[in-house]
Structures are given as structure tokens and as C-alpha cells.
């Protein structure tokens, strides 16, 4: 029994009339991506600087975190809001990294809370307990909608996101890896985990013996583990980089968008019971290992479709 919907070739429009549900999915996602492009092209990455209220805190156990609150949260402090936990990969002030990735502007646009935990980046895999202490403090002291907590990490920060998924899979309603990730240890779980990977074609990629391009081994293993975790692989399905460059697994749907003169390719993987992709792999043509302001907008466009109920079940949001 296949767990994924019938694959649709986005370039063969004559097939679409036979898959009405597929057309609805395609149109919803297409409009969503167009909305992201409209935001970007209408000045969201312009020179005007966006500010957010910053509050740093220390937990009873001595762990440090930085919370960023949009104007909407400051003006309406009782209203529960989604929270994105953003794990930074290297030194510098958290606001600088959030701004470089576009999270400050995106959070103001969508009314999101942002949380940056302090942890030892050289020991990312063993930091989950301290990160969760920082997150739990935020839940207790800020208006966090606990059904809509997400995690996103760039580079080494992706290791923390993967480790958190291993140890606390029912906490997050979706995860996003930017430019690196780690495999998920538990290949079967009562939870489903919406996941997105964003990286560039010149970012941790290499050429195979046949001349096809693929991501590096850590990501190859990581993608396979997430596909298995979510039951997205058909029986006997194996990765094939000659057929599907970079990722190895044929997507159910492919979309492209030109964002600020750069082509972004979105490979979507669906599962029965969901109308939004459960997995999305995003390749930026010519992109390198760096933060860019467009990434947070693309990440939130994916993550925002899911929430998690009290017993851990995944809930889709229109």
C-alpha cells in the first residue's frame, strides 16, 4: 500500500483534470508561494529596518534565552501566538542572525514570537535538555500557543533541531533545516513531523560518479530518516540521484518561483490525510552556505500549515 498520493507531473497540464484534489492542492500552494514572492518584491527585504521588542532571561537552572515579541504581542499581551524556536549556528548577537535570515521581518508580518536559546554549538546533539528548559520558561512566562511551536536551525543549528526531534517529537508542529541537518534516530514514531529543508545548489553538495548532483552524506541519511519517520517511502523505494538530483526521492509535485532574480525549486511530498505537503525540500539555484532574508518567509509559508493537538496528533490549518 502506498502512503503517498499519485505523483503529478507539473508540466503536463492535460493530466490535472483527472486529479481534482491535486489541482486544489497545487493551486493553494501556488497562491501561497506567489504571496511570499509578493511580500519579498513589495519591499519586505528593502532598506527600512524592522524592529522587535527583545527580552533576555535566565531560567532557574541558569540557562539563557532571548525572546522577541512583535508589536501585536506587545499591544495584546494576553493573545496566544505561534512561537518559532530559532537555533543559531555561530557567534554574534541573536538579533543579527534573526535579521539575516528574515525572521525579524517575518515575525512582525505574521505576529510570531521568536525564541533563541543559548547553547554550546560544539555540542549540539547533547543540548536538548537545556534547550527545552529555555523553551519551557518561555511557555510559562509568555503568551505561547503550545499547539503551534516550531523549530528552525541554520547550519549547526540544524543539528539541534534534529536532536530535539529525536528527544521531544511531540513538542513541535513542524521543523525547518537550513543548510544542514542530522539523521533522525527513531525511524518509527506515533507522531508525524512536517519537515522542510532549505539550501543552495552550491551549499554542501557534490557530484556523483554519474555526474548527477546530490547533497552530502549527513543530509542524504537525514532525508531518508525523515521520510521513514513519516511513512513517506513506498515499499522498496530507494534513493536515485540520477532520477532526482540533490534529494534522491521523486517528489509528488515540483514548483518553482523566482525570488529576487533567483530560482527556488520546491519539491513537495504528500501523505494521505493531508492537503499540505508533509515534507518539502527547497533548492536555491546558486545558493551558498549563508543566511539570506528570504529564507524565513519560505520557512513560515511551509510551517504555518500545521499545529499539534493535546495528545500529539497533527492538525492541518488552512
For the ranges 189-198, 235-244, 247-256, the maximum mean pLDDT occurs at 247-256
Q: Which domains does the chain have, with CATH numbers?
A: 51-304 (3.40.50.1820)
d(CA 175, CA 247): 18
Convert the pLDDT of each residue in 271-307 to its tens digit: 999 999 999 999 999 999 999 999 999 999 999 999 9
Counting every residue, how long is the chain?
318
SS3 breakdown of the chain: % helix, strand, coil, rounded to 5? Answer: 35, 25, 40
Residue 38 has pLDDT above 90, yes or no: no
pTM of this prediction?
Answer: 0.87
The pLDDT of residue 90: 58
Convert the pLDDT of each residue in 178-207 to its tens digit: 998 888 887 667 889 999 999 999 999 999
The percentage of the chain sitting over the pLDDT mark of 70, rounded to a whole number, equals: 82
Q: Edge to edge, what strands does the sheet with 113-117 contain? A: 53-58, 64-69, 113-117, 81-87, 144-154, 174-178, 195-200, 279-284, 262-269, 253-259
Interval 20-27 mean pLDDT: 38
Higher pLDDT, 34 or 73: 73
The pLDDT of residue 312: 87
Convert the pLDDT of each residue in 62-106 to its tens digit: 999 999 999 999 999 999 999 999 997 556 788 989 999 999 999
Amino acid at each position: 500500500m502506498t502512503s503517498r498520493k499519485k505523483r503529478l507531473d507539473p508540466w503536463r497540464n492535460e493530466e490535472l483534470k483527472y486529479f481534482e484534489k491535486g489541482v486544489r492542492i497545487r493551486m493553494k500552494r501556488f497562491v501561497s508561494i506567489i504571496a511570499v514572492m509578493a511580500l519579498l518584491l513589495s519591499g519586505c527585504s528593502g532598506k527600512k529596518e524592522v524592529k522587535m521588542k527583545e527580552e533576555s532571561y535566565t531560567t532557574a537552572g541558569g540557562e539563557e534565552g532571548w525572546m522577541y515579541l512583535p508589536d501585536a504581542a506587545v499591544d495584546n499581551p494576553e493573545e496566544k501566538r505561534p512561537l518559532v524556536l530559532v537555533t543559531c549556528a555561530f557567534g554574534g548577537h541573536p538579533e543579527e542572525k534573526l535579521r539575516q535570515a528574515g525572521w525579524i521581518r517575518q515575525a512582525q508580518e505574521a505576529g510570531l514570537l521568536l525564541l533563541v536559546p543559548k547553547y554550546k554549538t560544539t555540542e549540539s546533539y547533547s543540548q536538548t535538555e537545556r534547550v527545552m528548559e529555555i523553551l519551557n520558561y518561555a511557555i510559562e512566562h509568555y503568551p505561547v500557543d503550545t499547539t503551534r511551536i516550531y523549530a528552525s536551525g541554520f547550519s549547526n543549528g540544524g543539528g539541534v533541531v534534529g536532536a530535539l526531534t529525536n528527544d521531544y517529537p511531540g513538542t513541535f508542529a513542524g521543523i525547518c533545516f537550513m543548510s544542514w541537518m542530522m539523521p533522525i534516530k527513531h525511524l518509527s514514531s506515533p507522531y508525524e513531523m512536517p519537515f522542510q529543508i532549505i539550501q543552495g545548489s552550491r551549499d554542501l553538495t557534490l557530484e556523483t560518479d554519474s555526474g548527477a548532483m546530490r547533497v552530502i552524506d549527513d543530509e542524504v541519511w537525514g532525508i531518508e530518516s525523515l521520510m521513514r519517520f513519516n511513512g513517506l517511502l513506498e515499499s522498496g523505494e530507494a534513493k536515485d540521484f540520477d532520477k532526482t538530483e540533490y534529494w534522491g526521492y521523486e517528489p509528488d509535485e515540483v514548483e518553482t518561483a523566482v525570488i529576487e532574480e533567483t530560482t527556488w525549486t520546491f519539491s513537495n511530498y504528500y501523505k494521505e490525510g493531508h492537503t499540505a505537503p508533509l515534507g518539502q525540500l527547497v533548492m536555491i539555484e546558486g545558493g551558498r552556505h549563508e543566511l539570506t532574508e528570504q529564507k524565513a518567509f519560505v520557512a513560515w509559508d511551509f510551517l504555518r500549515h500545521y499545529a499539534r493537538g493535546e495528545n500529539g496528533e497533527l492538525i492541518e490549518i488552512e
